[in-house]
Amino acid sequence: MTSLSRVAAKGEMKLCRHPRDEFTRIPEDDGPDGHQLTVVSDDGVVADGIAFTKITATLDINPIEDDDDDGAEDGVDDGRATWDSKLKFVLACIGSCVGLGNFWRFPYLCYKSGGGAFLIPYFLMLFVCGIPLLLMEMAIGQYTRRGPVGALLSLCPIFIGSAIGVVIICIIFCSYYNIIISWSIYYLTQSFRSALPWATQGLIETPSNCTANSSTQRYFDAVVLQKSDSIDDYGGMVWPLLGCVIVAWVIVYFSIWKSIRSSGLVVLVTATLPYVFILVFLVRAVTLEGAGVGLKYLFQPEWSRLLDVQVWVYAAAQNFNSIGIGFGSMITFSSYNKFSNNLLTDVWIIALVNAGTSLLAGIIVFSTMGNIAYELDCSITDIITQGPGLAFVAYPQALAKMPYPHFFAVLFFLLLIILGIDSQFATVEVIVTSLQDAFPTWIKKKLRRHEILAFLVCLFCFTLGLPNLFEGGIYYFHLVDYYSSAISLMYLAFFEVVAVVWCYGAERLSRNLREMTGKIPSLYFKYCWRYLSPSLILIITVMSWMDHKNLTYGQTLKGEDPSKALPYPTWAIALGWFIASLSIIPIPLCAVIMVYRAPGDTLWQKVKEASKPRVEECKKCGKSSHNPITPCHCHYVVTNCHEKVSPAVVSSVPRTSINPTTYVPPTGLLLAAQSELSSDEKNSSHDQLECELQQPSERQLQSEVPEKLDSPHPKL
C-alpha cells in the first residue's frame, strides 16, 4: 500500500501537522490503476499536507515512472542514486581504503618503528581515532545525502573551505596517482615477454649496496622512467608511459561514468579479486627460503620504541592515510546510502578488514625481503624501503628469482593495478559528486549528463598529470606527493572535525545517528570525537612540522650513496609550498566570505550566523528536515517544496480556508493533479512556482463533504 507520506516525500520539504488535528485513515481496495487512500476527520484533516475541515478527501495515486527510483525505498526520492545493495557500498569503501599504501608504507613503518611493538600504537590509534572519525564522516554523508562540499555547507557553512580544500587535494592526488598505475601497466605488459627484462642483467652483489645496483633498479630508472639527472633537466616526454596513463584513465572513466551504477559493479571484482592474489602470494612468500628472517624483523618487538613520540605519530598518520580520513571518499560513498542504513556495522567491517589487509601485506613483503637478503647474502636493512622503490625495484627482484616468475609477475602487477584503480576512481567520484552538489542547476542545463561531467574531470586531471611523464617527471612526482599529502591533509582533517564535532555538535550528530539507525552512539564515540581525535590530529600536525625536512632527490632507496642526495632547487621548493597552499587557503578565505555575507549588525553576530547549521531541527521532538522516514509532526505548514510545475496543475489541487498563506502543495498531490491535465495545460508553466490561495466555492465544498461515518476508525 503506497502511503501519502511516501509520495509527498518526493519533494524536499518538511511536512507537519498541528497537534490538535486528529485524523483517521481508511484504506480502500487497491485497484488496477493505483491505490486509494481516504482520510476522514471530525475537526480537521491533513491529507498529505493539505488541511480540510469536516470533509473526506480521496486521492487516487497512480504509480509514477521514475528514471531512478533507487532512493524511494526509504521514503525519499531526491533524484540521487542509491546503492543497489549494502554489499556494494561496503566493498566500495574497502576498495577505497585498501590501496598501495597498505603494501608499501605499512610494512616499512612496522620495520622502522619497532617491529611488533608498532602494532600496539597502530591498533590503539585505530580504535581511538580511526574508527570514530570514519563513523563521523560516513554519518554526515548518509544524513545529508551530499558529498563533502554539500555536507559541510549544511552542517557548518563557515568551514565550507575545508571541504573545498578536500576537493582540491583530490584533484592533485588524481593527477599523479594514475602515474603509479601506468607504471604497473607497463610492467604488466613486459611480464609477457619470453624473459623478464628487469632480470636479464646480472646482480652486483655488494652487501652494502645490494638493492641500489640491482638490475631492477637500473631497469626502473633507465627504461621505465628514462630518468634524467636532476629536476632542472626535465627532458622529453616518455611516450610509452603516456600510452599507459591513457589506458589507466580510460579504465577509471568507465568505472565511474554511470556514478555508483557502474562503480557498484566494478567493485564486485576490484574489491574481492585482490584477496585471491594476496592469498596466493601469502602462501608463496612464507614458503621461500629466508622468509623467517624477514618475519623476525616485522614481528620482533623493540619495546623501547614505545617511548618514542614519533612512533605514535607514525601510527596515527598511517591510520589517517589508510582509512582515507580527510579525503572525502567515505562521505561521498555514504551519501548514496539509504537513510536508515546501519552505519555502525559498516564502520567496524571496513576498519578491521583494512587493518587485517595491512598485516597480511606486511607478512608478504617481509617474507619476500628475507628471501632476497638470503639470496644476496646481505642484511635486510639494506633492502627494505617504502614507496615505489618497494613495488617496482625490490619486489620485482624477488619475482625474477621465484619459480614460474612470469605467472607471479602478472599476478603482482595486476594486484597493483586493481588496488590503484579502486583508490583512484573513489577519489574521482569525490570530485564529480562535489561539483554536482555545488552547481546542480548549471550542470543539468549545460552538461545534461553525468557521463560528460565525469569525462571532463578525468580529462582535467589527466592534463594536470602530464608533467609526471617527462624524463624529469619522477622528481615532480615526489615533490607533489610530499607537499600535497604530507603537509596539507592533516590541516583539512582538523578543520573538518572542528566543524562537525564542535560547531555542529557531537550531541546533535548523535541524535542524527539515532534517527538513521535507531541507536545512539556510545560515550566512547562522543569522547573520541570531542577530545581525542582533534588532539591527536593537532599533535600529528605539530610533530610533522618539527620533523619537517626539505625534500631531496638522488637518494630514493635505502642502499644508495647518501652523498648523491641533493636538495631540490629553490624554485621547486616554492612550487611545492604553492601546491600545499592551494588546499589550505580556501579555509580562511571562505570563512571570511561566509561571515561577510551573513546577516547581523556586529562581527560576532555574523560569525554566529555563518556557523549555524542549515539543517533544521525541531526543538520539540528533535527530528530534522533531513529525515524522510519519520518527519516532524509538530506543525502543519509545508515549506521548501522545490518542484517546478504548471500553475494549471497548482490550481487543480483542492484547497480550503485552513491553508496558510505560505502554503505550497506537496509533490504527491501535484503529480497526481498533473496526470489529469492535458499536455497543453502542463506546458503553460513558470520556472518557479509562487502559489496564492484559491478558496473553493461553497458548491465544491458541499460536493466533497460526505455523510458522517458511524463506524470508528483507528487513529494514526
List binding-site positions: 95, 98, 102, 322, 354, 419, 422-423
Quick one: which H or E segment has residue 51?
strand 50-52
Three cell numbers, residue 367: 617474507
* Listed residue (28, 77, 24) closest to 47, CA to CA: 24
3-state SS string over 533-579? HHHHHHHHHHHHHHCCCCCEECCCCCCCCHHHCEECCHHHHHHHHHH
For the chain, give the number of residues: 716
Quick one: which H or E segment has residue 119?
helix 119-125
* Listed residue (316, 294, 313, 265) closest to 115, CA to CA: 294
User: Cell 578488514 appears where?
Assistant: 353
**Residues 76, 82, 84, 87: what is their CA dihedral angle, to the nearest 10 degrees?**
-110
- C-alpha 682: how far from chain center: 40
Q: What distance in Å separates the CA atoms of residue 669 and residue 58, rounded to the nearest whole number? A: 11
Q: At what angle do helices 239-256 and 450-464 cross, to 10 degrees?
A: 150
Q: What distance in Å separates the CA atoms of residue 495 and residue 489, rounded to the nearest whole number? A: 10
Quick one: which H or E segment has residue 323?
helix 309-323
Annotated binding site for Na(+): 95, 98, 102, 322, 354, 419, 422-423
**Bridge partners, 315 (sequence order):** none
Which stretches of 382-505 are DSSP H helices? 388-389, 395-399, 405-438, 440-446, 450-464, 473-481, 489-497
* Listed residue (500, 597, 608, 605) closest to 159, CA to CA: 500
